């Protein structure tokens, strides 16, 4: 069996090589790895790094123009051939060593989708932005009100799917940017898929360190929650 790791990348030259080394060092037991990197038209030297990667190890897909994280993920999902598919950001905020922790409910046959929550469990978390925390909790609660779920971290990067589960929702995914998170949450809820949460660690970045998400993305996410749950 195979795990497809889909990595959307935009201007991550400072962290990409370290992230890929961490991904490749993960022991998945009997699972093989497929690493799919989708570059969203980076302009900081990221593509120079990607051009040097061995094609026998990595599948590198280049977007012709910047479209956003959601668009990059959709392209990666369409190319993935694994039995399980997992999203991995390239910024080192999420730890690849926790893959098996995320995948266990899928491997046990108990879940179709797993969310990695930054707000449950006892794994370490970097202390950063209060208002980001408030915004995240508000969006998660509002999403839960619309979907009927009881998630603690809808906006998490770490989402893992069985292949059959992802194929059910992929045709209904259209979000191009960070509004991917509320859209995919709505679609998996509407599909009646079995969803689990597991606690994960979180090494958040400051804006000086390269964090990209801002208040405009929160507004976009709010609208995406409404739109995705009203239109099925």
User: Tokens 């797993």 map to which residue?
Assistant: 114
Eight-state DSSP code of residue 32: E
Close Cβ partners of 49 (under 8 Å, ≥ 6 residues apart): 13, 16, 17
Distance from C-alpha of 54 to C-alpha of 37, rounded to nearest angstrom: 12
- Per-residue DSSP letters for 69-116? HHHHHHHHHHH--SSEEEE--SSSSS-GGGHHHHHHHHHTTS-SEEEE
Give the count of alpha carbons within 13 A of 71, CB side only: 13
Query: For residue 213, what pLDDT is reported?
Result: 65
Query: For residue 221, what pLDDT is reported?
Result: 82
199: left (phi over 0), alpha (psi -120 to 50) or beta: beta
Query: For residue 208, what pLDDT is reported?
Result: 65
Domain at 86, CATH number: 3.90.550.10
Number of domains in the chain: 1
User: In a structure prediction context, what are the per-residue pLDDT tens digits for the chain, which is 232 residues long?
Assistant: 999 999 999 999 999 999 999 999 999 999 999 999 999 999 999 999 999 999 999 999 999 999 999 999 999 999 999 999 999 999 999 999 999 999 999 999 999 999 999 998 778 777 676 877 888 899 999 999 999 999 999 999 999 999 999 999 999 999 998 899 999 999 999 999 999 999 999 987 565 665 566 667 778 888 889 999 987 6
Query: For residue 135, what pLDDT is reported?
Result: 83
Owning domain of residue 117:
2-230
- In a 3-state reduction of DSSP, which class is residue 58? strand
């Amino acid at each position: 069996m195979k795990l497809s790791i889909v990595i959307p990348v935009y201007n991550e030259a400072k962290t990409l090589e370290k992230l890929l080394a961490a991904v490749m060092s993960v022991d998945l037991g009997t699972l093989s790895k497929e690493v799919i990197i989708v570059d969203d038209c980076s302009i900081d030297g990221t593509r120079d790094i990607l051009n040097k990667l061995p094609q026998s190890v990595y599948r590198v897909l280049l977007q012709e123009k910047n479209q956003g994280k959601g668009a990059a993920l959709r392209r990666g999902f369409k190319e993935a051939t694994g039995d399980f598919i997992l999203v991995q950001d390239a910024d080192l905020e999420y730890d690849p060593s926790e893959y098996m922790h995320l995948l266990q409910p899928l491997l046990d046959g108990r879940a179709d989708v797993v969310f990695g929550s930054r707000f449950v469990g006892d794994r370490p978390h970097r202390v950063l932005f209060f208002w980001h925390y408030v915004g995240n909790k508000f969006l998660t609660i509002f999403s839960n009100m619309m979907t009927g779920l009881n998630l603690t971290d809808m906006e998490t990067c770490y989402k893992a799917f069985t292949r059959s589960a992802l194929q059910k929702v992929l045709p209904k995914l259209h979000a191009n940017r960070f509004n991917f998170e509320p859209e995919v949450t709505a679609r998996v809820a509407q599909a009646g898929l079995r969803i689990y949460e597991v606690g994960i660690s979180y090494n958040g970045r400051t804006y000086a360190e390269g964090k990209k998400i801002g208040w405009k993305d929160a507004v976009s996410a709010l609208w995406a929650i409404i739109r995705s749950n009203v239109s099925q």
